[in-house]
Structure 1
């Protein structure tokens, strides 16, 4: 982990819709981007560890991270993904509670590490931004609840389509074969995102490949037929699988 000089090159970035930096007013965004210390992280580094008492929050500027939790049986469960423009670790900073999950880099990441005291002062001085931060926290819980509702009762194929459709819309980039999802996910990680076992995931991936809806690369998926994937993601998928992951 290394410090990086300056944050001016991020001042004019067009942040992805739905991220905190996209939703902030320009003056609040500029103020937030000057806070704390800018740092760079290599692939696979931890920004925070579950149950740790750290209280720094991180504004992601480049790259993406994986939010990982521990199941009661000791398995690591991929809970969500965060990208440039998102704020992570804010629950510990706002409520002084142990980390509810671990956050690891999925790609090289640049972020600003902001102390609890600095974030609290910023929120007191920027009430509109404070509401946006609290709103972002609430939105994360809403999305998590919606995700659990959507994947319960759907077939494994449709669960996979739902998650891949979301990833393609949020993290997709044009590719010669379609839309390439720029998030490196192993099959166990993708299986944990949709709440199924790895063999069940592999069967669903093969089915979508055979239908020429997706194409697989190492730790990447390319959506070859976005419209077919969208239809699978929104149609439900019939009776639920007896799949508990």
Structure 2
């Protein structure tokens, strides 16, 4: 997105702060505004009929959430909660759609973003069908670190938002016990460190090699 277009988007809407754990968008709600994450992070979850939660993805500063409801004028398909303290801009759907009509490069970027999220979902489906449960956990861990990881001074990678074992289990399509077993094994190999609601990958190259060796 070109700087003038980005600045035009930033000029829309009103600023709102969400504290960690606070609901940004609620599944099934009929509101249609778009949320632009300026700083912080958010988790996108789907609530099942049985009342459980499935983590669909993680979003960070610069990402949009709620764009589907704005474009389709349909109820929210997922719930979005702040993973950390998040500074956002709430943009009315009419203003957002008008912005897209006036800025072709923004429409292209939005299409690219939606396509990437679809590719992520497709990879999860393929992994669930073709790989063992332990491999799925490792593959999800590698992908989230490569996509969203922050490089520390010591060369370790961590996420800018807390991800629990339940979160990793949801993304991998496995049970929490499987995640705990896999992370314990990776920690013994010196590939990860486990902290409260945080996994730090100390050797990303070794994790890549491990997955390459496992096929």
What secondary structure does 2:130 align onto? coil
Structure 1 equivalent of residue 78 of structure 2:
101
Greater helix share, 1 or 2? 2
Asked if structure 2 preserves the Cα contact closer than 8 Å seen for 1:178 and 1:225, the reply is yes
Aligned length: 214
C-alpha deviation, 1:217, in angstroms: 0.5
The residue number in structure 2 matching 1:37 is 14
- Name which of 120, 145, 158 aligns with 1:143: 120
For 1:62, the equivalent position in structure 2 comes to 39
Instruction: Return the TM-score normalized by structure 2.
Output: 0.93
- What is the rounded CA distance, in whole Å, between the counterparts of 1:103 and 1:234 in structure 2? 34
TM-superposed CA distance for 1:135, in Å, is 2.9
After superposition, the C-alpha distances for 1:200-242 in whole angstroms (9 at most, x for unaligned) are 111111111111110100011111211111123445x46xxxx
Distance 1:199 1:175, change over 3 A: farther
Q: 1:100 to 1:36 in 2, by over 3 A?
A: same
Structure-2 separation of matches of 1:177 and 1:36: 38
Matched, 1:198 2:176: yes
Q: Is the 8 A contact 1:165 1:233 kept in 2?
A: no
Shift of 1:143: 1.9
Q: 1:166 aligns with which of 143, 149, 155?
A: 143
**Structure 2 partner of 1:213:** 191
Instruction: Show the counterpart of 1:187.
Output: 165
Aligned-partner Cα distance in 2 for 1:49–1:179: 31
The Cα RMSD (Å) is 1.6
The structural deviation recorded for 1:179 is 2.1
CA distance in 2, matches of 1:137, 1:90: 9
2:59 aligned with 1:82: yes
Q: How does 1:9-48 map to 2 (within 5 A)?
A: 24-48=1-25
Q: 2:98 matched to 1:121? A: yes
Q: How far apart are residue 69 of structure 1 and its match? A: 0.4
CA–CA separation in structure 1 for the residues paired with 2:50 and 2:211: 30
Q: Which sections of structure 1, spanning at least 5 residues, go unmatched?
A: 1-23, 239-245
Q: What displacement does 1:128 show?
A: 2.1
The residue matched to 2:141 in structure 1 has which SS?
helix
